[in-house]
Structure 1
């Protein structure tokens, strides 16, 4: 491990959202920066509103930032402001990664990669191709999840309180994605349930098939009521921290221009979660 340093050539990355104080992204990225000894830093921004986010984008275009990770509520706006977007970002209609180069802005979405990596790590026996998957929510994170799951060959059933948003998302992604109004019916036969809602869902895991997998995108708390109930029933549970770390690797490479090092940051994240209570 070499000593990280900050000079006049420092490369600055950041995570942006509102609120943002809970984010573990600075813990992850700065640990990797230190391990590689990069002349770099990774910070956090919490713009008050969309205009504040646009001002941050302007600063990036002016050369003040190398790239941004984007979280709620700015993922869809991030996609809209980009000059170019990856196929993954276009498929989901949102972006959690923005990279600046000579005044231009490129958008990508690594949330789907993170979701699939999290499932592969904590539910390695799960098969998605041709299997029904229920996705709760239709926001930015759900968009990326739906695109990734559909890309893996799953039959994605979106359930959202505002059904029109679920319909719109299903129509945007297409390819085996559908919107359902009856959550109980959607859960029948599902091999995987993914919660992309910010609030805990009012859901009885007893309605899930034996052997199903349950994933919660949130990682505060790490063991959510949904995951606790799933484990109590003997189901496989996948936490949101695995997804966060999974999406961070490709983000780090895009922002700082080098692959993330072979350093397990999960213990660092768990320690920070414990410190925060």
Structure 2
């Protein structure tokens, strides 16, 4: 049975790839982009099965309008995929206030506004699946991506809480947490801070740490994402790529060991 999907950031990268795969298999898609001309190829091919929506997710009112437009056009919304976002590369000390706020506005607040807009519709339906495109950097961190890491940790905290709040309404929540993939995320879509030379060695080590094999192939994610959308009991956390799992496992193992080493001191701090 076909589904009705609302997806943000569909002009390129994962968003466009997944929107096309959904349309190809017969689903109906409301696809948002800052410039809807970037969706012309999909609208020409799939006609009334795609609703192109011009949207800047930083605009809360526009997010509500876009969701309601999609609901009016298709009659329901089965799945929301919050995919809009970008990467900010640079040391934390280098980051300007504007850069930090812009990163959080898009990656966190834009996702929040779309989520809030979709919830009343899904509650009325007594069904729905909200899929947040986070990152494995919402579970672990890498240097030179501090504000990006923070935005994705915020997305994860929000979405874990959301899952506990809406499960009784028949609404499911999933976090897609990819490792690095060869999309525009680290290229044309990325932003860079003004470099401070004291961080040059850290940036050099970071760049040299990645091998060609570190970056996944975006097209290979489609089957996994379709499986997530179709799952009767989808996971809350869904890692994408072969780098994410060992990285997360190592960090969480080290974290648990550190908690264990300090547990007596921690317990004494409780006071009774």
TM-score with structure 2 setting the length: 0.40
The structure having more radius of gyration, on CA atoms, is 2
